[in-house]
Structure 1
Amino acid sequence: MDANDPASAQGKLAIGLTGGIGSGKTRVADLLAQWGASVIDTDLIAHALTGPGGEAMPALRDAFGPDIVAADGAMDRAAMRERVFADPGARQRLEAVLHPLIGARAAAEGAQAQGDYVVYVVPLLVESGRWRERVARICVVDCEPETQVARVRTRSGLTIDTIRRIMAAQATREARLAAADDVIVNVAATTPQELASRTFELHECWRELARSTRRSAS
């Protein structure tokens, strides 16, 4: 692990939390934070990097031109989404700019983390291929693809076609589950109470694992 690997930067048990769009991983992360885990959301980091005055914006303007810059100076996410959908090479250029910056920011936040363990919320954890060596365990929040579509439509207003295009660019449900050490089921029939109970069970397991690891190291 190098200095920019979040798991090595702060010496705590590192959990990678992922799931497809609309799976409910943000709700799971919020619950874990309520119970004392340090949560570092790489999507929020990416939004900060691409917001008005964001650190990534000069490089993105150079790579893609002014058309992907909104009036407020932030990245125009809709315009970038269409660019990436139309040109696979554009995704690679975008990731080449953002991923090193996201990794460095995540490592810096991880170095300041408190609590028994650290959760890195990484929407494209499986797809990136970089996080397996950075975390001790991968936790997948899982639901049916149809439920993903319904949830995202409700919260975002995106069209079904756009949602399915986003999902097609992500790992399949099967690929995520194959990579998982832990799974939190959040299908359409899952109640908020059930989701909280399943999440708390893993929270307790991770706390004990973190403490056991510290005892073994001392």
Structure 2
Amino acid sequence: MIRLGLSGGIGAGKSTVAETFIARGGYHIDADKIAREVVEPGSEGLTKLVEAFGDDILAADGSLDRPALAAKAFVDEEQRQKLNGITHPLVGARTQQMLSEAPSDAIVVQDIPLLVEGNMAPFFHIVVIVGADEDLRVERLTTLRGMPEDDARARIRAQATDEQRRAVADVWLDNSGTPADLATAAAALWDERLVPFERNVRSRTVVRGPLTLADPDPEWAALGARTVNRLWAVVGDKASAVDHIGSTAVPGLAAKPTIDVQVTVADLDVADALADTLADGGFPRVAGIDGDRPKPDPATGSVDEGRWGKRFHASADPGRPINVHVRAAGSPGGEFAIDFRDWLRDDAAARAEYADVKRAALAGADGDLERYVEAKEPWFDDAYRRIAQWKRRESGR
């Protein structure tokens, strides 16, 4: 299965997207609904709330009087933490139960209003945010829900900003049009990206990016950061570092529009043990790539081929080409990946030179990725020597 995190600010139109996904077969987990369920009359949650805050938080019919609870729970941080300490574990347990009951081929749609505020984005295969500007959202809240304008604006501004939401959004669905427009966009996303994504994860199929050079894109840094955070969530403490590497990590450099990320682990046995974990997380292993091209040690001229091994994974998401290089800590390939990125960031002449090398390699590759990679290798061999010199100069400063 894949897990989709769906969110958006109040009045943005998230419910329209959720309804569209459900109609197309999505397995829906509604965080708000669960939060209400765990404090229903007779529940463990309601019992614990009464014990913590008193029986005057109950309505006449024995149900939770939410305004009365809010008057007690939101007076200070200590009381807020007391409330969260009761409800959050119950919501989490019910969510995990529903996840365990989902079909193995499900696209799980987790509808979470405070996904951004709760820093939950990295734990999903993909995050979809529904957005609309503040004035339009206020208009909807006042006309469709009868909410006073001051209240509507206060609620909007108490939530995450659009900038914060965009930082975690793999997909931004703009809802400045009609509900029908939004439903159409959501349906296209489901059919063209989400269904193939789930199928690829289940079948361990990777999606390789196009063999083309794109102009530098400021969004690469944001996508790299999201990918790093997601991989940390997938591999956890099995990694000692996760880094955005490659050309998309170098501002101002033309690049294939594919994000490269390096996961550093203790050794390749750990890398092998992570194969299924990464695949389940949306990054299946690519067969036949078990190492980098060995390069001679700049100091001795010797080549230790055994230290250049790696494991290579790539994204199963058809809308997001990503390469994941899993290398051992202290390996020359792992160190070179970081040093190469930092050298290009530091040296404008080397950056321009590499851009020319890539253009020439692309022109001669005739669309063949292996030929493109092979054509650059002699330059990489020389860059390995030059980077060693650059590091010595940097260390002497």
Map of 2:6 onto structure 1: 17
1:124 to 111, 114, 119: 114
For the pair 1:147 / 2:133, whether they are aligned, the reply is no
1:132 Cα offset (Å): 2.7
* Helix, strand or coil at the partner of 2:123: coil
* Helix, strand or coil at the partner of 2:28: strand
Rounded Cα–Cα distance in structure 1 between residues aligned with 2:55 and 2:158: 25
State whether residues 26 and 108 of structure 2, in contact with CA within 8 Å, keep that contact through their aligned partners in structure 1: yes
- Give deviations 1:118-172, integer Å, cap 9, x for gaps: 010011111112x234311111111112233332334443433433343333211
- C-alpha spacing 1:128/1:150, structure 2 compared with 1 (3 Å): same
1:24 Cα offset (Å): 1.2
* Helix, strand or coil at the partner of 1:73: coil
Superposition CA RMSD, Å: 2.2
Gap regions ≥5 residues in structure 1 = 1-11
2:159 to 170, 191, 196: 170
- Give deviations 1:168-188, integer Å, cap 9, x for gaps: 33211211111111111112x
Map of 2:54 onto structure 1: 65
- Give deviations 1:8-38, integer Å, cap 9, x for gaps: xxxx100000111121111211110001111
Rounded Cα–Cα distance in structure 1 between residues aligned with 2:93 and 2:183: 31
Letter of the aligned partner of 2:83 in structure 1? L
Rounded Cα–Cα distance in structure 1 between residues aligned with 2:87 and 2:78: 14
Gap regions ≥5 residues in structure 2 = 205-278, 285-397
Taking the TM superposition and a 5 Å limit, the aligned residue runs for 1:63-212 are 63-83=52-72, 86-114=75-103, 116-129=106-119, 131-187=120-176, 190-204=177-191, 205-212=193-200
State whether residues 72 and 79 of structure 2, in contact with CA within 8 Å, keep that contact through their aligned partners in structure 1: yes
- C-alpha spacing 1:25/1:55, structure 2 compared with 1 (3 Å): farther
- C-alpha spacing 1:146/1:51, structure 2 compared with 1 (3 Å): farther
TM-score (norm 1): 0.83
State whether residues 51 and 73 of structure 1, in contact with CA within 8 Å, keep that contact through their aligned partners in structure 2: no
Rounded Cα–Cα distance in structure 2 between residues aligned with 1:55 and 1:214: 37
- C-alpha spacing 1:146/1:50, structure 2 compared with 1 (3 Å): farther
1:93 Cα offset (Å): 2.5
* Helix, strand or coil at the partner of 2:11: coil
Letter of the aligned partner of 1:38 in structure 2? Y
By relative contact order (CA 8 Å, sep 6+), the higher-ranking structure is 1
- C-alpha spacing 1:155/1:113, structure 2 compared with 1 (3 Å): farther
Letter of the aligned partner of 1:123 in structure 2? P
State whether residues 116 and 207 of structure 1, in contact with CA within 8 Å, keep that contact through their aligned partners in structure 2: no
- C-alpha spacing 1:78/1:194, structure 2 compared with 1 (3 Å): same
Letter of the aligned partner of 1:212 in structure 2? N
Letter of the aligned partner of 2:24 in structure 1? W
- C-alpha spacing 1:88/1:180, structure 2 compared with 1 (3 Å): same
